[in-house]
Amino acid sequence: MKKSISVLRSEAWMLAGVALAYWIAVRFGLLLVARPEGIASVWPASGVALAVLLLQPKRQWGKLLAVIFITNAAGNWGGGNSLPVSFGFALVNIAEAVLGAWVLTGLCKPAVTFERTLDSLVLLLVAILCNGVTALLGAAVPAVAFHSSFVHSWAIWWAADGLGMMLVTPFIVSWVLKKGLFSFASPRRVVEAVLIGLTLSVFAWLTFGSFTTAETPLLRNYMVFPLLAWLAFRFSPRGVVTVLLVFSVIAIWNTMQGHGIFSFASQTRTEHLVSLQMFLAVVICSGLFLSSMVAGRRQAEAAVEAGAVRYRQMARRLEMIREEERRRVACELHDDIGQTLTALKIDLSMVQNECSCAGEVKDRMGGMQRMLSEGIQSVHSLCHWLRPGALDDMGLEDALDDMVSDWKQCNRVECELYLNAPDEKLTDEIKTAVFRVVQESLTNVSRYAYASHVEINLVADGEALRFSIADNGCGMASDVEKKPTSFGLLGMRERIEALGGELCIRSCPDAGTRIDGTIPLRQAECS
């Protein structure tokens, strides 16, 4: 029971807030009506009604429309219109809001935020097409009741309500959905926001103020677009629509007073306002589309960055699993197969020493012992390749030193190793990644480079681990890393980037290959 009372109280406050906001929009719109012509420059109430429906689920639309209908009808009736005329205007206004909200919510899934180009495009279509249809009904009311010009009434309704939708709806929606005005609330960004807001306000007064005439303007209207581009690229759509709202109010108010760049002496006030409406429509559309495109790009960049973070986390996890599996396989090979072969060799040696066989049999036994020795050595080498014991027991420097020594003996290639990376600065993941990169690099040198000299440098400071591997071999083509068969090079890059590092591979035919890598130590420790 208490919950239902609380829900009813919340709905009552919400409906009261909607009624108040709509009434304020109506009163403010009346202030922007030119007298005695009766030309409405902009009708903010249409934008308020559309925004209210967009922000609430469809099951709430009935209550909201009832409140909007009553508020609109009461305002018209209080303004001197008859009850049928007031009801007619109210019905057209709610029909306009319902049609626009239905189109926007139907085409802009999952929600209308005006941070996507699609939202701004559909809003423009609603302001032009849907509003144009409902304006026919709106023009019919004064045409029947007051015998006004149908075309003239339709044009006024269509332009004023369309501007109200384009200007007020994004303003309300963006403010309600987002708590802050800007994407980043740093002091520097706040100062920049204040600066651009003041600049556009001053521009509006210089363009439309009382000291500016259409014949001798201080500024040209097209000068607003560089400022608009700056605003859109630096700030979110919320900032853009907020500044555009202030700019539009200044422009409309001064033009109604006969000031500004559109107030030609040879034209009527109606022509002044029509010119202003066209200019504001272009400015508002440009600002909305540009800001939504920038916001969409930022969202795409954020999604790509989030995907890259998830990829690096998965790559690190996969590498940990792979190293653990290698360690397990190496232990199994050493403890099972290696020990079995060793025991078999010992038994065979005992049999050879104790039996009095023919020389040919002993020679075969000797050959079998040599084969067993080679098999044992192969198992040891495989275990060392899978997971070098020195990496776990003695650290990265000793493991690299052992590997380089073995590689030099096998390949008869000079290899210099310069190490200054104390183990206490390195995590197990970093040591494993660097060891595997050096291992893969030396394997590539022995297979493809035909080099006579290799130099490996490894240095760790307080910020990062930096390493380089260079050879004087035949080099490789610049696009070899992009080939789908270059698993080794791709694997090296993935290992380093998974730790937040960078890997640069530079090579030219007949000029050798150089691999430079950097791994941040603090990020790796925190990850």
Q: Is 259 inside any structural domain?
A: no
Q: What is the DSSP string of 404-423?
A: HHHHHHHH--EEEEEEE--G
Q: What range does the domain containing 10 cover?
A: 1-177
Q: Which two tokens stand for residue 110?
A: 């999952």
Residue 97 lies in a domain: yes
pLDDT band of 54, cuts 50, 70, 90: very high
Look at the chain and count its residues.
Answer: 527
Q: Is the pLDDT of residue 47 over 90?
A: yes
Residue 504's domain is classified under what CATH number?
Answer: 3.30.565.10
Query: Considering the domain boundaries, does residue 358 fall inside one?
Result: no
Give residue 311's Cα distance to chain centre: 16
Establish if 306 belongs to a structural domain: no
User: Does residue 257 belong to any structural domain of this protein?
Assistant: no
Would you say the C-alpha torsion 194, 199, 203, 205 has a positive or negative sign? positive
Last residue of a domain, one of 177, 195, 212: 177
Domain-located, residue 509: yes
Domain boundary among 122, 149, 177: 177
Q: Edge-to-edge, what's the strand order for the sheet holding 502-507? A: 414-420, 453-460, 464-471, 513-520, 502-507
The rounded mean pLDDT for the chain is 82
Q: Distance between CA atoms of 218 and 193, rounded to whole angstroms?
A: 25
% of the chain beyond a pLDDT of 70: 86
Calpha distance 276→390 (Å, rounded)? 79
pLDDT at 345 > cutoff 90:
no
Cross-strand pairs, 459: 420, 466
- 130/101 Cα distance (integer angstroms): 10
In this predicted structure, what is the pLDDT of residue 2? 53
Q: Predicted confidence band at 169 (pLDDT cuts at 50, 70, 90)?
A: very high
How many domains is the chain partitioned into structurally? Answer: 2
Q: Give the pTM.
A: 0.68
- C-alpha R_g of the chain: 39
CA distance 16 to 299: 35
CA–CA gap between residue 403 and residue 383 (Å, rounded): 13
Domain final residue, candidates 177, 192, 210: 177
Look up the CATH number of the domain holding residue 38: 1.10.1760
**Is the residue at 83 inside a domain?**
yes
Q: Is 476 within a domain?
A: yes
